[in-house]
Structure 1
C-alpha cells in the first residue's frame, strides 16, 4: 500500500504533463444544458448538435485523427438525438434515448473511467439496453414514457492512471452534473429523475449528490464515493448500491489516504452495511456487465427507475470471526 501511495504521488504530475494534446474541435453553437423540452425545441436542438458533431468530425479529419473523425461521423447519423455536444478538450456530450418531451421517468447515466468519444459505442449500448428494458419490463397497462440520457459530461480518467484513484476529475465534473440535472428538472418539472452512476462515475455523483434534484442515486461497480455513509451525501434521494459477484472493484481497498495535494481512495464500500445504502440484486457479472441485455442488474435498475423497487434496508455488516466462535464468548481464543 505504501508503495502504491508513493507511486501515485509521483506519477500524478508526470501523467498530467505527458497527456497528449486533445483533438481540436470548434466551439459548440448549442449551450450544454437542456433548456425547453417541447418536441419542436428538442428537434431544433438535436439538429443543431448534429451539425456541431459533423463540424467536429471535419476538424478531426483535418487534424489527421481518423479514429476520432469516424467516431464523430457515427454520432452524427440521422436518428441520433444529442441534447449537448462539445468536441473540445477530449469531448463532452449528452445523448437521449426515448421520448424526452413526454417522459415521466428519466434515467441519467454517468459513466466511469475509460469512457470517451473514441470508446462511446459501449456507453451507448448500455443506454440503449436500459431503454429497452424500461419498455419491455413495464407492467401491462402502465402509463408514461421513459427516456435515458447518456451523460458524458466530463473527462473520465484512465482505469490504470492515478486519476482513477483520486477525486480530482470528480470534483471538476460535479458542478457540470449539477447544472445539467437542474436544467433537466426545469425542462421536465414533473418527471421522476434517477441518476445511475458506474464505477468512477459514482465518485462524481457522490460529489454532486447534495444538490441534485433526483429521486434515486444508484451506485454500481463503485469503488466508493468519498463519503463514510449514504447519510453523509446529504441528499434526499434514495441511495442504492449493487456490485456483481465477479466485479474486480470489490477487491479495491476501501480507504482514504491524505497525500500532499489530494486524497488516495474513496472510503467506505457502498455495498457494505456500514454505508447504509439500499441494496439491489447485481447478479454474478463483472465490472462491465451491469447494463448487459437480460442481466440481473439491468432488471434491478430498470425497476428502480420506474419507481417499482422497495428498499429493504441496508445489508447488515458481516460479523467478526470470533462473534461466531464459542471460545470468543468465553474469553479465550480458538486454537
Structure 2
C-alpha cells in the first residue's frame, strides 16, 4: 500500500524510561521509517514528543461480552485499540482465527497465542480447547507450531472445592512447557489465586497473567527464573463483580476473589519492588472494553512503576520483549505523537496529535 511520504520533527523517544533525542524522521511511501530525508514529504509533526506505538500485552481480539464474536466485530475491536495508540497486541487467547484481518491497514499488529487450553468445565464455555492432563503436552506443541505464544488456564473454579484450584499436575506442566520451548514458542497462564503459581513457575513458564495470588515466595521464584508478569490491573477492578456473580453457589470463591482484589495493589507493588519484569495489558475482550491501554499504564504508574517506567512497560520495553522494533530505520512506521512528555504525564497519551499504523493515519 502506497502513502504520501511524511516528515516528523520533535523529541524522539525510544519508548523506554530514559532514551530520547531531539531529531526528525521520515515515513516512506511504503509506510516505513527513514532517518534519511524523503523528497516531497509533508510535515505532519513539528514539535512535541514522538514514540513507538503502544503495546497491549494482554488482549483478546475475537472475544466479546457473550463469548466468541464474528470476524467483522473482531476487526472493529482491533480498530478501537489502534485508534487509542495500541499498535501492537499480544492476543492472549482467541476462539476465532483473526489472521484474515492482518491485511487491514487499520488493524494493529497481533502477536498470537492461539486458543486457551483448559480442562473440561474449568473455564469460560466456548473459549478454550478442552483437554485432559495427558493431552496437554501434545496440544501445547500443536499450538506452538502455529503461534509464538501458548496460553494455559492455570487456575479456575473447581466445583467440589468451591474455589480457585490448579488445573494441571506439575509433571504435565513441565512436559507441556518443554514442548512449547522445543518449538520456539513461549507459554503464559491465566492465574488469579495462589496455589497454581509454584507449579507453573517451577515448570519454567515464561509469563503469568493477572498474578493477584503472588506471595513473597512466588515473587522470588519469578525473579530467579525471569518470569514476567502482566497484571491487567484494570480488569482486577472487576473482581468484586466476579465474586457477586458467584452468589451463594460458590461462597468460598467469592470471599477469595474479594481478598485478592483488596490486596492486589500491594501484591503487584511487591513484585515491582522485587524486580519482576512487568508489562501493560488490559484484558480487553475479557471483561474490559478495547482501547483502554492508557488506563492500564496509569494504573501501573500508581502501583510503584511511576509514569516513565509504566510507559516503558507499554512501549519500548514491551516491544523489545516481543521482538518488535521501535523508531528505527526501516521499521514499520507505527508511532504516536503527543504534545508533551508522556513519561511525566501519561494522560497526554489520551489525546495524541497523530497515530500512524505502518504509515496509515488513524
What interval of TM-score do these two structures reach, taking the shorter chain for normalisation? 0.3 to 0.5
TM-score, normalised with respect to structure 2: 0.33
Q: What TM-score, normalized by structure 1, do the two folds share? A: 0.35
Higher relative contact order (CA 8 A, sep 6+): 2
Q: Larger % of helix: which?
A: 1
User: Normalized per residue, which structure has more strand?
Assistant: 2
